[in-house]
Structure 1
Amino acid sequence: MLDSKTIETIKSTVPVLEDKGVEITKRFYKLLFENHPELLNIFNHANQKQGRQQTALANAVYQAAKHIDHLENILPAVKQIAHKHRSLGIKPEQYPIVGENLLLAIQQVVGLQADDPIIQAWAEAYGVIADVFINVEKEMYQAAEEQPGGWKGFRNFVVAKKVKESDVITSFYLQAEDRKPIAAYEPGQYISVKVAIPGAEYTQIRQYSLSDSPNKDYYRMSVKKEVGTEVKPDGIISNYLHDFLNEGDLLPLSAPAGDFTLDTNKDIPVVLIAGGVGLTPMISMLNHLSEQYPHRPVTFIQAAKNSQIHAMREHVVKLTQEKNNVRSFFIYDSPTEEDRKRQLYDKEGHIDLDWLHSVIEDKESDFYFCGPVPFMETVNKALQTWGVKEDNIHFEFFGPAISI
């Protein structure tokens, strides 16, 4: 436990972290990779280049300082991060490495000496926070390994089938190479895949949501091919999977993880709102609800550019026609002439509160949504304006969590 003086010192740094948090974390990652380049095998290089990882860490450090006297307040965030750490294979012995470089980054950015009381207080606080993560992750590692069909670390899977879902999204059906049972998962969870690209110095790990209902003899992930722009680089791994990973190839996976999961203990209606490739966890939830909970009303809303980009449209339409509890609506922001001619969508443009009112009668529903950050900001604001209960609003980030 931290004494009152240490807590007071940590809390005094909150304004500094609010102002210089991202600068500190940028310096931290630079130091970390210079001193320990082997850790480049773990981190998503694209998130580093875009600054998302640095922002997410800055937010986490800020919240830890703000709640240092009541760390239980940030336990949900700790568990969310711990799921990612377990999926990536983060080890207890890596925490001191992180702590050393984080303290050094604080020193350099704020202009402090190693023996400054602030650095000493943060060293003590980091040890306490690291222990919380290590203990939570220890339980997760044990559960992942000991569950039926579970395993430790990464396990080889074979690409049993590769299916093009749209111009930009391809599904991969993955079966265990050893043909032994595989772990179940909750709709909304993800897997980590480890990829060694020929000629690349480091392996890379990416996390992809599972896009089918659980309790099958395969995992399905549906990957969007990320084509770069002026401000965003090509998705190295997504392009490799699309262009070079073929049926019969092997792909190492960690066991399913994640805390963005469907609550099946409720009986209230469910609204699933997907933007782009954010449909992957939504499809998993939709399939599970349609198969196992036919009494529970489900509204599925998919926003896409047009039908060429819209993945799994036919599957959703088929469920809507066959299942009495499923309704679906499609929104295109750039429909083609063929889309207009065939009336393949229900709304042109973007989701807004007025339109949500027109298709959803009961705000006492469970709302789940996933997609690009601006899309999620819009949906979240609409639901809050409508007065949807906070406990009924659930969302998932692809990549490091940031604020919406």
Structure 2
Amino acid sequence: MLSSAARPYIQASVPVLQAHGLAITTTFYHNMFNAHPELKHLFNMGNQANGSQQQSLAAAVFAYAANIDQAHVLQPVIDRIVHKHAAVGIKPAHYPIVGRHLLGAIAEVLGEAATPPLIAAWDEAYWLLAGEFIAAEARLYQSTGYAADQWIAAHITEVNPTADGILSIQLAAEDQALPAFKAGQYISVAVTLPDGLRQIRQYSLSDAEQNAGYRISVKREAGDTHTPQGTVSNWLHQQAAVGGQLLISHPYGEFTPDLKAKQPLVLISAGVGITPMLSMLKTMVRDQSTRDIWFLHAGRSLQHVPHLDELIASTEQLPALNLALYIEDKPGFAAERLVQAGRMRVAEWPFNAALNAEYYLCGPLPFMIEQWQALLALGVPPQHIHREVFGPESLSQAA
């Protein structure tokens, strides 16, 4: 718990962080990477280049200060970040580096306003949060049996285009069984780019757990292998080939519904956000679930829907599955009954889901915010709505 001496300084920092947060985090990353260039191998340099990571950290620091005594607000996102940290191999030794440069950036940007008591208060607050992360990450590493930065050499057994701009990659380990995973989890993939920089990205597993190994479905992002944005996805699209090798992490992530529960399950996705939903759906097909399932997906066209054939087949294998595809460009389609023209609007669903259902969202952040707000407006309790977020996210978006 934050001390009574530090609390007033942290609370007084809220308006200061709102005004200067982005300057602080920009200075923080600049100084830290100058002093520790090796950390560029851990951080997503695409998000650094477009500024989203700096904005996200600024919002997170502000939200932490604003909710310092409200653990229920911070805990869901802390849990999510712990899994992301484990997936890239964050170690306890990284926290002193981050703390030193974050406090240094606060002092540099605020100047004389950064009084010794203010810096001391933030030092205390930082280590309270860092201590939570370190302990939670240690427990997670112990539960998986994998140490931080321990990678699995996986062999590529299949590579197939599965939609416009999306590549399906099947992975297996030659000398060991790949670790078990829960539907909805992801793995990290670490690649070394032509300039020698190692970059790590997370990809949801897009199939049910099976002896054949893992499957990821990778969207080619804007950019190329020579620019920060899209470096890894473009590298995979260009370089992934049967017989090749990828370094992958143990599966992580807490976006994992209890698929054996009885209440209705509603899976809502857009774009490549369909991938964890596919893993959930394929797992229920494998287990011949009798649960009521609604699967709602939004896409630009049918050519942009990954693994469309598997979705169609699932409707024949699961009688309780309700599938609706919201397609902006609606062409003729054999399974016309499954396609809704235009954008997804919760209030206009072709069927009604119970308010006691569990709702899972994955897709671009604006899409998830829109659906989240629509569900709340319908009276769905917020504790029944879950979402997966890849890329920078602020603690202030926890709900």
Distance of aligned partners of 1:72 and 1:395 in 2 relative to their CA distance in 1, 3 Å threshold:
closer
SS at match of 2:112: coil
Asked if residue 83 in structure 1 is aligned to residue 83 in structure 2, the reply is yes
Cα deviation, 1:182-208, whole Å, max 9, x if unaligned, reads 2111111110011012x3131110010
Report the equivalent of 2:245. 250
SS at match of 1:251: strand
Report the equivalent of 2:393. 401
Q: Identity across aligned pairs (percent)? A: 37
Asked if residue 153 in structure 1 is aligned to residue 117 in structure 2, the reply is no
Cα deviation, 1:186-243, whole Å, max 9, x if unaligned, reads 111110011012x3131110010110112434011100011249xx975111011011
Structure having greater relative contact order (Cα 8 Å, sep ≥ 6): 2
Asked if residue 172 in structure 1 is aligned to residue 169 in structure 2, the reply is yes
The structural deviation recorded for 1:22 is 2.2
Asked if residue 352 in structure 1 is aligned to residue 345 in structure 2, the reply is yes
Q: Check the 8 A contact 1:151/1:255 in 2, yes or no.
A: no
Distance, in Å, in 1 between the alignment partners of 2:32 and 2:149 is 26
SS at match of 1:271: strand
Number of equivalenced pairs = 394
Distance, in Å, in 2 between the alignment partners of 1:43 and 1:339 is 44
Q: Check the 8 A contact 2:86/2:141 in 1, yes or no.
A: yes
Report the equivalent of 1:3. 3
Q: Check the 8 A contact 1:339/1:345 in 2, yes or no.
A: no
Q: Check the 8 A contact 1:211/1:220 in 2, yes or no.
A: yes
Q: Check the 8 A contact 2:87/2:249 in 1, yes or no.
A: yes
The structural deviation recorded for 1:279 is 0.4
Query: Structure 2, unaligned stretches of length 5 or more?
Result: none
SS at match of 1:111: helix
Distance of aligned partners of 1:201 and 1:292 in 2 relative to their CA distance in 1, 3 Å threshold:
same
The structural deviation recorded for 1:181 is 1.8
TM-score by length of 2: 0.92
Asked if residue 290 in structure 1 is aligned to residue 290 in structure 2, the reply is no
Report the equivalent of 2:30. 30
The structural deviation recorded for 1:360 is 2.4
Report the equivalent of 1:391. 383
Report the equivalent of 1:320. 315
The structural deviation recorded for 1:162 is 0.7
Output aligned runs, 1:112-151, within 5 Å: 112=112, 116-145=116-145
Report the equivalent of 1:279. 274
Report the equivalent of 1:40. 40
Query: Structure 1, unaligned stretches of length 5 or more?
Result: none
**Of 235-244 and 137-146, the range deviating more from structure 2:** 137-146
**Of 166-175 and 109-118, the range deviating more from structure 2:** 109-118
The structural deviation recorded for 1:72 is 6.3
Residue identity matched to 1:399: G
The structural deviation recorded for 1:177 is 2.8
**Of 368-377 and 248-257, the range deviating more from structure 2:** 368-377
SS at match of 2:332: helix
Residue identity matched to 2:382: E
SS at match of 1:339: coil
Asked if residue 366 in structure 1 is aligned to residue 362 in structure 2, the reply is no
Distance, in Å, in 2 between the alignment partners of 1:37 and 1:288 is 42
SS at match of 1:17: helix
The structural deviation recorded for 1:140 is 0.9
SS at match of 1:121: helix
Report the equivalent of 1:379. 371
Candidates 191, 197, 201, aligned match of 1:202: 197
Residue identity matched to 2:265: V
TM-score by length of 1: 0.91
SS at match of 2:304: coil
Q: Check the 8 A contact 1:331/1:350 in 2, yes or no.
A: yes
Q: Check the 8 A contact 1:226/1:238 in 2, yes or no.
A: yes
Candidates 189, 192, 196, aligned match of 2:188: 192
Q: Check the 8 A contact 2:294/2:353 in 1, yes or no.
A: no
Q: Check the 8 A contact 2:91/2:148 in 1, yes or no.
A: no
The structural deviation recorded for 1:270 is 0.8
Cα deviation, 1:67-120, whole Å, max 9, x if unaligned, reads 334556523222211111111001111111001110111112222377621112
Q: Check the 8 A contact 2:187/2:204 in 1, yes or no.
A: yes
Residue identity matched to 2:219: K
The structural deviation recorded for 1:362 is 2.1
SS at match of 1:5: coil
Distance, in Å, in 2 between the alignment partners of 1:33 and 1:234 is 18
